Structures are given as C-alpha cells and as structure tokens.
Amino acid sequence: MRVYLVAGELSGDILGAGLMRAISARHPEAEFRGIGGPRMAAEGLHSLYPLETLSVMGLVEVIRHLPRLISVRRHLRRDALAWQPDIMVGIDAPDFNLGLERQLREAGITTAHYVSPSVWAWRQGRVKGIARSVDAMLTFLPFEAAFYARHQVPVAFVGHPLADELPLVNDRAGARAELGLDADAQVLALLPGSRASEIRFLGETFFDAAERLCREREELQVIVPAATPERRTQLNAMLDEYPALAGRLLLVDGRSWQVMEAADVVLLASGTAALEAMLCHRAMLVAYRMAPATYWLARRLVKTEWISLPNLIARETLVPELIQEAASAEAIAVGLGGLLDDIEARAALEARFAAMHAELRRDASRRACEAIEALVAGETLPPSVRADNPVGHRRPGQSEPDQEQR
C-alpha cells in the first residue's frame, strides 16, 4: 500500500505517526510520502518539506504566505501524481489539504481527510466543497460525524487517538516526582501555544498572570513545557522581563502531558492543548488572543458558543474561556486563583473529564486504518466506524458494547 500523507503541525505529526503504525502493522510493506515531522519520519515517511511549512495561524496572516503555500501545493500535486499512491490522507490543515485533496481526487486518486475542520461552527457551506474533495471524512468526535452524515458526506467516527494514548488513571504524584516539583505545592501549568505567533500574542500575558499569582501565593510553583527548541528560546527571552518568576518557574523541553498531569490547574491557549488537558483530567482556563483583523473576521463568521474542545464536546461551559480583550493578565489571574482555591470543584471536574475521556477511547488509529483499507478497496466503510451507529453511543434499549467494541 502506498499512502500519501500531509500534516501541518505538531499535533498532526502525532496523529500521522499513530496512523502509520496502524497501517504498517497490517501492511508491513506500506510506503509513505508527503509532509510530516520527526514522529512520522520515524515511522518511515519520506517528507518533502519541514513540518512547519504549513503552520500559518489566522485568517489574515495566511495572505502574506499565500504565494509560498500555493507553490508547495503545486509541487505536492505533481509529486503525488507521479508517485501514484493508493490513497492520499490530509491530516488537519484543511485550508491547504482540502484543495490538494480535491485536485488529486479529480485526477483519480482516492482521498480522505483526517481531523474534521470546524465546518459545524462556521462557514457551513464548505461542506459542499468537502464532499467534492474527499471520499471520506475521518472524525474524532461523534457530533462531527453526525453533521457529515446529515449532509450525505461519507464519514467514519474513529474516536480520538490522544484518548487512546493517555491513561484513564493518571499519577499526579509520580509526574511531580519526575519533574522535580514539590509533592504538596500548588502547581500551575502554562501552555501559551506551540506556534511562534501564539507565544507572541499570549506569552507576556500568561507570564504576567503567573507573576501576579506568585506574589499572592508563596507555595505556588509554575511549570511551562516548550514545544520545540525554537519555542524554548522564545520563551526564555520573554522570561528575562519577569524577575519575580525566577526560582518559581520551571521551563522544560516537551513533556506537555506530564506537565499537565503534574498540575493542579492549567492555563492554555485554545486548540489541541485544551483537549489534552481534558484527557489528563485537569481543571483549566482557556485564554486566547489573535491579530485584531483576524478577530474582527472571526467574530462575524464563527457561529458556535464555545471555542475550546472540552466545552464543545460537553455542549456546556465546563471550562472558562477568556477571548481577546477579556484575556487580560488580571482577569486570568483571578480566574486561576478561583480554580486553585476550589478543591471540590476541581475534583468534580476531574471526574467529569475522566468520563468524557472514556467515551473517546476507541482505538482510533486502528479504526482509521480500517476506514482507509475500505476506501482503497472501493468498499463501503465498515460498521465499526460508520456514523449511523458510532461506537459507544448507544441507541435507546441497545445493550452495553462488548469488549471488542470497547
């Protein structure tokens, strides 16, 4: 089997690597080509560009990079048509990948998209273009699958790979010991983002809020995972302006899951990190800022009540969200202080997140592989992943799923 894969950021690299492992387990001679990061390369991907080539944040910022992105997409189209894969799978990066998928599908190559764009939240008319671009959409969440099914787009609900990877029972004390944190201290984790632009918009505000809390709480320890060496350099340069955090803040390389597991409360930017914090069963506050022009456009286009995945999955406000002007250091510090002080509320939220985690734990990489196999063979999607009866979402009167379904 030849599989063409295009991922656009760190989260896509993780997802792509898991999918590649599942495919290779069933097809040992499988070949992989496209764009990915170090995890996908370790699984055998021949990557034509660095992972960050497609990592452009925001609606307005894309315009500046558009000529380069168009050139990259043209090159990938030519390369894929010459290589003739059995299937092309775009992993997230929908603005880039859906266009490439459509071009390849029109040329006769089977295509799938892994990670649904937020079409249910804004610009729902895009679903018509998606239907022309993909032979199937592979979704993480059941409400996403239901949306595509209503619009007659072939869809597979596979669960979330991160839910499979993160344990249902976590070890806060063990994580603290490995990170060198005080077992009895209050611990705040800061995750201002994995992109340079996110840290530029959020880093100073996050550090300012942490500094305020450290002045009020002598026992508070702060820990920050740097997603890449470049982000560590960027964060270190900012920390020079916050002497009050000296000796109170620990900057570590990667290990974001362990950092969140060690924490009492997490402050983060919206995105995959919010889902990861939920799967670590940690109380959190989401704060997000973007370029003013991007925010102006987003306010007029986005039709959903929430931006963070825990709230979207639960369909209620479990996680406080502070957006744009509301995301001031003072407001963030007040919100975090309330979470740190309310131990009972944190415990209830951790239990709720553990239950949500269990619902998303479906062996997603294997189910995605099964869907891809069916598409390559020209067959209908297997019952285990079809959206008409998502695993774990029982109809009234339906019996408990058996162990294989779990």
pLDDT for the residue numbered 64:
72
Over 80: is that where the pLDDT of 216 sits? yes
Over 50: is that where the pLDDT of 397 sits? no
pLDDT for the residue numbered 122:
67
Answer yes or no: is 387 within a domain. no
Residues 366, 336 share a domain: no
Instruction: Give the amino acid at 277.
Output: A
**pLDDT tens-digit profile of 117-144?**
888 766 778 899 999 999 999 999 888 8
Residues 147, 30 share a domain: yes
At residue 271 the predicted structure's pLDDT band, cuts being 50, 70 and 90, is confident
Residues 225, 295 share a domain: yes
Measured from the Cβ of residue 9, the count of other Cβ atoms closer than 10 Å reads 23
Residues 196, 118 share a domain: no
Answer yes or no: is 331 within a domain. yes
Burial (0-12, 13-18, 19+ Cβ within 10 Å), 158: buried
At residue 288 the predicted structure's pLDDT band, cuts being 50, 70 and 90, is confident
At residue 382 the predicted structure's pLDDT band, cuts being 50, 70 and 90, is confident
Answer yes or no: is 77 within a domain. yes
Over 90: is that where the pLDDT of 341 sits? yes
Answer yes or no: is 278 within a domain. yes
CA distance 202 to 200: 6
Residues 349, 366 share a domain: no
Residues 87, 106 share a domain: yes
Over 90: is that where the pLDDT of 325 sits? no
Instruction: Give the amino acid at 135.
Output: D
Answer yes or no: is 258 within a domain. yes
pLDDT for the residue numbered 297:
67
Residues 146, 273 share a domain: no
Beta strand extents in 106-212 (DSSP E only): 110-114, 136-139, 155-157, 186-191
The stretch 96-121 carries a mean pLDDT of: 92
Residues 229, 151 share a domain: no
**pLDDT tens-digit profile of 152-188?**
999 999 998 889 989 999 899 999 999 999 999 999 9
pLDDT for the residue numbered 60:
55
User: For tokens 């500094």, what's the residue?
Assistant: 211
pLDDT for the residue numbered 359:
87
**pLDDT tens-digit profile of 70-99?**
999 999 999 999 999 999 999 988 889 999
CA-based torsion, 54, 58, 62, 65: positive or negative: negative
Residues 195, 330 share a domain: yes
Answer yes or no: is 405 within a domain. no
pLDDT for the residue numbered 343:
94
CA distance 358 to 371: 22
At residue 303 the predicted structure's pLDDT band, cuts being 50, 70 and 90, is low
Residues 255, 152 share a domain: no
User: For tokens 């979470």, what's the residue?
Assistant: 339
Domain of residue 251 covers 172-359
Residues 28, 125 share a domain: yes
Over 80: is that where the pLDDT of 236 sits? yes
Residues 326, 221 share a domain: yes
The stretch 229-256 carries a mean pLDDT of: 89
- In the chain, how many domains are there? 2
The stretch 4-17 carries a mean pLDDT of: 91
pLDDT for the residue numbered 309:
86
Answer yes or no: is 383 within a domain. no
CATH code for the domain in which residue 176 is found = 3.40.50.2000
